[in-house]
Structure 1
């Protein structure tokens, strides 16, 4: 390969969307909603990070996505309830400090909509999880948002006296919004 061809190849690589620095910008959120005795209760995780972000909307099959959520950052608004969530019956965040999602495949499912299938590790268990998310450009930031439902009983969250679904419903809706910088245009 001659010098000009090498220079052209390196230039194309450096200008490719994947070569851009991609990161989670400030302002993201991970919210969970459960029902206690039929009443919706909203909480959020205050601390989470994208361990790996390599995503080109035009080539989703080449994506590399990995997310960690610090379980002891769960907040429902009162210190007493948050202390309860850290206990073994709930998140057991001393023994299992993080939940982690690792996408194994990503594919387009519509205009600016994608499906990430992978493995969620939570409270010492790992199970398959598929998440659909939508991208919305907002200036230099691209907002990735979506939601999915988990069954807390599948993860032994709220065990013992709390296992009764009439007290706390088994279904927990999880919503997320991640402002991402450095993504290629849609």
Structure 2
């Protein structure tokens, strides 16, 4: 009995083998969808009287759903507890949480919800969506990068937020000569991977 396959049979066997490989790869494809707040950071930097000042938010959460094989289908929603702001000293924290700034009693959470994620190549992306702060919701956009570290996906990026657009710093603080309008937001979001069928 000949062990050689005819050309048509060879093509069928090759197609079947390729299909099996694709199905196996899909069954074990990696999605990063378990946000790890304890490994993540959200920081900010601005100038007051032209002096650089840095701070951070200590409590935030949300969801990330990112498949490196299908980046355009990714989704993200991040919610930041504004009362967790850390300016480096207690008096500053109290001031920023107050009515003229974040007004955390009335607006406790800032939220970003993505609407599109555009791949730019080399693990770079443009993330667009809506930012909601102090009852105002505006379009927002940020560049971001992705890299895999073992079972974790790391998303990093930065963008400029204009505080005046959201009414952050009203009254005597509305003067941009005292506190600059531009606030640099930096994020490092870490998500754990979960394997699942596509």
Q: What band does the TM-score fall into relative to the shorter chain?
A: 0.7 to 0.9
Runs of 4+ in structure 1 off by over 4 angstroms are 10-14
Residue matched to 1:47: 59
1:100 aligned to 2:100? no
Deviation at residue 116 of structure 1 after TM alignment: 1.1
Deviation at residue 37 of structure 1 after TM alignment: 0.4
Residue matched to 2:183: 172
Cα separation, 2, equivalents of 1:72 and 1:11: 47
Residue matched to 1:129: 140
Deviation at residue 107 of structure 1 after TM alignment: 1.4
Could you say which structure has the larger radius of gyration? 2
User: TM-score when scaled to structure 2?
Assistant: 0.81
User: Given the alignment, which residue of 14, 18, 27 partners 2:39?
Assistant: 27
C-alpha RMSD of matched pairs (Å): 2.1
Q: Number of aligned residue pairs: give it.
A: 174
Secondary structure (helix, strand or coil) at the match of 1:182 reads strand
Deviation at residue 142 of structure 1 after TM alignment: 2.0
Q: Which runs of 5+ in 1 are unaligned?
A: 1-7
Deviation at residue 136 of structure 1 after TM alignment: 2.1
Cα separation, 1, equivalents of 2:181 and 2:75: 31
1:159 aligned to 2:170? yes
User: TM-score when scaled to structure 1?
Assistant: 0.86
Q: Which runs of 5+ in 2 are unaligned?
A: 1-19
Residue matched to 1:37: 49
Deviation at residue 15 of structure 1 after TM alignment: 3.0
Alpha carbons 2:143, 2:158 under 8 Å: kept:
yes
